[in-house]
Amino acid sequence: MDKPKILVVDDEPRNLRLLEALLLPCGYEIVLVENGRAALERVADNPPDIILLDLVMPEMSGFEVLQKLRAEKATMNIPIVILTSLHDSERRIEALEAGCDEIISKPFDRTELLARVKSLLRIKRYLDEIEDNNRKLKAAERIKDEFTSTVSHELRTPLAAIKSSIDILDTEAPGALTGDQKVFIKRVKSNIDRLARLIDDVLDLSKLEAGRMAMNFLPLRPETIVQEVVDTYRQMVNSKGMTIETELGEKLPLFMADRDRLVQVLDNLLSNALKFTKEGRVVVSVHSEDKEHLTFCVRDSGIGIKEEDFPKLFEKFQQVGGPSQNVGGTGLGLAICKQIVARHNGRIWVESRFGRGSAFFFTIPCESTQ
């Protein structure tokens, strides 16, 4: 392991020799300079682990050196200890506000100085480790995102070819199908569609988490969005003997949102509500009670959710319900909803009583989010 490097900056040669004699026996590498400009050059060439800086020097004061170092991203995290004989509280406060980490008065206590240096070096080592780990995590995330994107796109090509072939067989153009063959083809088509949805969901979530999903924010009318999503499900709901209703608040304001992504959230919540509701009704509502936020809600009269399952609802690859309920899905829908709502500066939550239905809420600010 390299020795910790300490840069000592003082215009008094006697002080430099004293500090060198004190620090060298501790196993540190010591670099001595007599003025501020030389200190900045040294830092630029080979940044030290810590700087001991005299505050009062000719030509360029220690305060000026401190300001220049803290103004640069590459040097803002180097611990700086001010050594000064000044007892002016205003100057000392000024130095602290400018970014120094410690102020030690001259003549300094040797034991205190060594303890402060040791402590700051330990903190810097921890911070460097954290920064290094963050870089590794970001690199791993980037590799994961690239892998996810590549694999997903590679899967789409053969999947599209398989789907095309199955669709041709289903038309019976190549020849008549038996009853069993029709059943098998229907099962294959269902699994293909499920795999396609999984690929789309994985790609969406990967882009959202990486902040790479482009959002096209436009002024929208909330009642139009709600009605559009509800209308796509109305025929299916009626065929199940259920009802689907809308509740729209009065004088709803325009709001800024990505239309397609907002439809995706409502579609997912409404699809889930219908999946877990065998009879009764589903209500999709939007209100703006405080005029600053729109609150959307999808409420059902279905099986409800146990309270202990609430924390995992919006996590990836999590599904509620027992095996006998055969809920299907990818387990990514609500995680994607959470990310989309967050990108709109909103929040999403659930209220439910097991056996008595559920209500999923999310808010969107009425003001522009961009």
pLDDT tens per residue across all 370 residues of the chain: 578 999 999 999 999 999 999 999 999 999 999 999 999 999 999 999 999 999 888 889 888 999 999 998 888 889 999 988 877 788 888 888 888 998 988 888 889 899 999 999 999 889 889 888 988 888 877 777 777 777 777 777 888 888 888 888 888 888 888 888 888 888 888 788 778 877 777 778 777 877 778 888 999 999 999 999 999 888 888 777 888 999 999 889 899 999 999 999 999 999 889 888 888 889 999 999 887 899 999 999 888 888 888 888 888 877 665 444 545 556 788 999 999 999 999 999 999 988 888 999 999 998 644 4
Q: Examine the domain organization and report whether 34 and 77 are in the same domain.
A: yes
Give the CATH number of the domain where residue 252 resides: 3.30.565.10
Q: Examine the domain organization and report whether 361 and 221 are in the same domain.
A: yes
Give the CATH number of the domain where residue 185 resides: 1.10.287
Q: Examine the domain organization and report whether 222 and 361 are in the same domain.
A: yes
Place of tokens 């269902």: 190
Q: Judge whether 113 lies within some domain.
A: no
Strand-pairing partners, residue 220, are 255
Q: Examine the domain organization and report whether 356 and 246 are in the same domain.
A: yes
Q: Examine the domain organization and report whether 203 and 229 are in the same domain.
A: no
Q: Judge whether 123 lies within some domain.
A: no
Q: Judge whether 121 lies within some domain.
A: no
Q: Judge whether 127 lies within some domain.
A: no
Q: Examine the domain organization and report whether 359 and 226 are in the same domain.
A: yes
Q: Judge whether 126 lies within some domain.
A: no
Q: Judge whether 294 lies within some domain.
A: yes
Q: Examine the domain organization and report whether 165 and 233 are in the same domain.
A: no
Domain of 87, in residue numbers? 5-108
Q: Examine the domain organization and report whether 206 and 228 are in the same domain.
A: no
Question: How long is the chain?
Answer: 370
Q: Examine the domain organization and report whether 221 and 337 are in the same domain.
A: yes
Give the CATH number of the domain where residue 61 resides: 3.40.50.2300
Domain boundary among 185, 210, 235: 210
Q: Judge whether 310 lies within some domain.
A: yes
Strand-pairing partners, residue 130, are none
268-295 core/surface letters (b: 16 or more CB in 10 A; e: else): bbbbbbbbbbeeeebbbbbbbeeeebbb
Q: Examine the domain organization and report whether 226 and 355 are in the same domain.
A: yes
pTM exceeding 0.85: no
Q: Examine the domain organization and report whether 176 and 63 are in the same domain.
A: no
Q: Judge whether 370 lies within some domain.
A: no
Q: Tell me, what amino acid is at 124?
A: K
Please give the tally of structural domains in the chain: 3
Q: Give me the helices (H) in 240-369, please.
A: 259-275, 333-343
**What is the secondary structure of 177-230 as a DSSP string?**
--HHHHHHHHHHHHHHHHHHHHHHHHHHHHHHHHT-----EEEE-HHHHHHHHH
Q: Examine the domain organization and report whether 205 and 229 are in the same domain.
A: no
Q: Residue 60's closest CA among 74, 86, 41?
A: 41
